[in-house]
């Protein structure tokens, strides 16, 4: 397996003890767990904000052998409500992330495209401080992506966005993961988002209690519930119907499920 990140026997205060994690290169990965289980701390450890002497391998090289500036170029993180803009205008904030050797035309195209992707076009000439919390998060995501990191870390966005908005952003990130070949590690407490990812982890009791293909992981409803998480309605219904042999496979589309039940 071609891993871009591997954490071995992580120990960090009372949150982690002998915690292990492997992330495959260029995959879209989701991590879920109950509140206060250490998900944000995990992001801060991976991006270098918090130090641990535990073994971490980043692209086949010991994490501690990298310079801080190298880590900053390889890994970008987006944590809600933690943002300190350098420029006043939205467009200038985006420009700041682009290499100086690019032509003006190239820069403008990149900014135009990423602004369209995150519905920020009408805000380009506005001051960053005038943006809503939701649009500031979109700006953070846009900045991180155009800086071309190899790994993008995203903390839980559910306190800022409603479920439908979060699913839309997740779909955008899924497309970016494929088109830009960026490994995305997304923390989420909305399990519908996990279903959009390539691989998912469930954290409980300071350990990974489940991992694998999201649709298969989320079938383990008893373990999911014990982890303090709530299954998506259609997933929960499918699992129960499958347990009673009323359907053969997990079905997340209501219309298709009804048709299957009527056969």
Q: Is the pLDDT of residue 76 over 70?
A: yes
Which residues make beta-bridge pairs with 75?
151
Residue 73 tokens read as 């170029």
3-219 under CATH 3.30.430.20, yes or no: no
Q: Give 34's pLDDT tier (boundaries 50, 70, 90).
A: confident
Q: What digits encode the pLDDT tens for the residues 153-209?
A: 999 999 999 999 999 999 999 999 999 999 999 999 889 999 899 999 999 888 899
Q: Tell me how far CA of residue 155 lies from CA of 19, 41, 141, 202, 243, in angstroms.
A: 19, 10, 11, 15, 34
Query: With pLDDT > 70 as the criterion, what percentage of the chain qualifies?
Result: 97
30: three-class secondary structure by DSSP: strand
Angle between helices 133-146 and 104-117 (to 10 degrees): 140
Report the C-alpha gap between 10 and 148 in whole angstroms: 28
CA 56 from chain centre, in angstroms, equals 19
Residue 224 tokens read as 């999911």
Q: What is the mean pLDDT of the chain?
A: 91
Q: Is the pLDDT of residue 141 over 70?
A: yes
Domain ranges for the chain: 3-219, 232-263
DSSP secondary structure string for all residues of 195-255: TTSSEEEEEETTEEEEEESHHHHTT-HHHHHHTT----HHHHHHHHHHHTTS-SS----HH
Q: What share of the chain is helix, strand, coil (3-state, %, to 5)?
A: 40, 20, 35
Residue 59 tokens read as 């692209």
Q: pTM of the predicted model, to two decimals?
A: 0.90
Q: Is the pLDDT of residue 81 over 90?
A: no
Q: Is the pLDDT of residue 86 over 80?
A: yes
């Amino acid at each position: 397996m071609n891993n871009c990140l591997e954490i071995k026997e992580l120990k960090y205060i009372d949150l982690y003890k002998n915690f292990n994690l492997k992330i495959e290169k260029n995959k879209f990965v989701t991590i879920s767990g109950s509140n206060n289980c250490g998900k944000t701390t995990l992001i801060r450890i991976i991006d270098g904000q918090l130090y641990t002497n535990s073994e971490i391998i980043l692209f086949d090289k010991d994490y501690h052998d990298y310079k801080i500036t190298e880590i900053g170029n390889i890994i970008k993180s987006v944590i809600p409500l933690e943002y300190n803009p350098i420029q006043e205008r939205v467009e200038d904030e985006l420009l700041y992330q682009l290499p100086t050797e690019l032509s003006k035309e190239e820069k403008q195209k990149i900014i135009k495209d990423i602004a369209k992707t995150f519905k920020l076009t009408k805000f380009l000439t506005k001051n960053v401080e005038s943006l809503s919390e939701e649009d500031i998060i979109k700006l953070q995501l846009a900045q991180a992506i155009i800086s071309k990191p190899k790994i993008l870390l995203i903390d839980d966005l559910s306190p800022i966005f409603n479920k439908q908005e979060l699913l839309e952003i997740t779909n955008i990130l899924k497309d970016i993961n494929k088109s830009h070949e960026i490994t995305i590690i997304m923390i989420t407490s909305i399990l519908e988002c996990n279903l959009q990812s390539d691989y998912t982890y469930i954290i409980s009791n300071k350990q990974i209690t489940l991992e694998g293909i999201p649709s298969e992981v989320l079938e383990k409803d008893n373990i999911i519930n014990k982890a303090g998480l709530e299954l998506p309605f259609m997933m929960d219904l499918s699992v129960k119907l499958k347990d009673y042999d009323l359907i053969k496979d997990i079905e997340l589309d209501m219309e298709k499920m009804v048709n299957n039940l009527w056969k």
